[in-house]
């Protein structure tokens, strides 16, 4: 196939740089780039937004909304990495592995790239709600551990300058204790839950890597750990980027610990199901900058343009 052209609006942000790195070695893509000395030229930016086959928006929410208004070429495919359009019914949510989503992505010119936390949570929970195992009314709590790179350049710079006691104090810190994390709307909508989960992430003193976890009580759902594992296995059979480990598998534990960095540098997401008596614990491990951001964006592009989804990505 002939190469497609891509333009990254916000190419110098964390996600933009990661997308650019992946596209630089992509055999089916030519990246359009505004020269440094002209990057503030609004007309040149508009021109690039409209002449590219695919535009990646790596901008704050309001800037993404503004950028979309500048695109009048009906053929331009937009993949937005902000939270601006993730629950917009006119946009397709970009997780191809979720049942029914891949076909929608293939024909849509407006794709909302998922958040990093929801990528793990929805892949764990959406199939269970769809199967009737987890009730839509379930009172759900989601926890997560993430590397600090998910906070953008300011947080990265802050963590990289910490030394001694300051670094130790920042080794694990709760965030978003107002209980209004910006990812809640997509977590709720995509899974089909009737109520937003309680969600408080922990930022760890590692640059990237993520664990997203959900605890379930057997007496409050319609099924056990074996049924949950079987449902996830059938849902993701043949998906190259989803690896489901055996039920209660301990092969990834190091002295009893599951660390968050094993998927770094890949577009892989690993799923785990642990259980004991009535208690079930689901965990997803991923690279927050990979399957949680830039890798997912490239995968969505591949899907949309009929390119093998693994192209340019590491499993």
Active site residue ranges: 116
Contact 123, 269 (CB under 8 A): yes
The one-character DSSP state at 175 is -
Tokens at 287, concatenated: 């690279």
Tokens at 283, concatenated: 């965990």
CA-nearest of 217, 283, 209, 278 to 249 is: 283
Tokens at 91, concatenated: 């946009």
State the burial class of residue 1 (Cβ atoms within 10 Å of its Cβ: 0-12, 13-18, 19+): exposed
Contact 56, 33 (CB under 8 A): no
How far is it, in rounded angstroms, from Cα 259 to Cα 87? 31
Instruction: Give CA angle at 133 (104, 260), nearest 5°.
Output: 75
Contacts of 140 (CB under 8 A, 6+ apart): 125, 134, 193, 195, 197, 198, 214
How far is it, in rounded angstroms, from Cα 64 to Cα 180? 21
Residue 178 in 3-state DSSP? coil
The one-character DSSP state at 245 is P
Contacts of 206 (CB under 8 A, 6+ apart): 147, 148, 260, 261
């Amino acid at each position: 196939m002939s190469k497609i052209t891509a333009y990254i609006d916000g190419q110098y942000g964390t996600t933009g740089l990661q997308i650019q790195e992946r596209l630089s070695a992509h055999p089916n893509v030519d990246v359009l780039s505004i020269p440094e000395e002209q990057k503030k030229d609004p007309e040149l930016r508009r021109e690039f937004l409209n002449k590219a086959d695919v535009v990646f928006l790596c901008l704050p929410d309001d800037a993404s909304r503004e950028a979309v208004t500048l695109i009048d070429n009906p053929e331009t495919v937009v993949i937005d990495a902000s939270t601006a359009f993730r629950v917009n019914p006119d946009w397709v949510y970009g997780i191809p592995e979720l049942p029914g989503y891949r076909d929608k992505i293939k024909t849509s010119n407006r794709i909302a790239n998922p958040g990093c936390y929801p990528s793990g949570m929805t892949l764990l929970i959406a199939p269970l709600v769809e199967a009737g195992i987890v009730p839509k009314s379930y009172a759900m709590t989601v926890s997560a551990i993430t590397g600090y790179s998910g906070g953008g350049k300011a947080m990265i710079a802050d963590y990289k300058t910490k030394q001694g006691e300051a670094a130790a104090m920042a080794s694990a810190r709760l965030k978003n204790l107002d209980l209004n994390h910006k990812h809640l709307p997509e977590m709720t909508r995509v899974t089909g839950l009737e109520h937003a989960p309680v969600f408080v992430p922990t930022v760890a003193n590692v640059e990237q890597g993520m664990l997203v976890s959900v605890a379930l009580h057997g007496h409050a759902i319609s099924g056990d750990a074996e049924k949950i594992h079987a449902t996830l296995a059938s849902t993701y059979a043949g998906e190259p980027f989803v690896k489901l480990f055996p039920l209660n598998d301990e092969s990834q534990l190091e002295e009893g610990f599951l660390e968050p960095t094993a998927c770094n540098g890949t577009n892989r997401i690993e799923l785990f199901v642990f259980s004991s008596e009535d208690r079930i614990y689901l965990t997803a491990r991923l690279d927050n900058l990979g399957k949680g951001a830039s890798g997912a964006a490239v995968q969505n592009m591949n899907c949309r343009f009929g390119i093998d989804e693994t192209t340019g990505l590491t499993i």
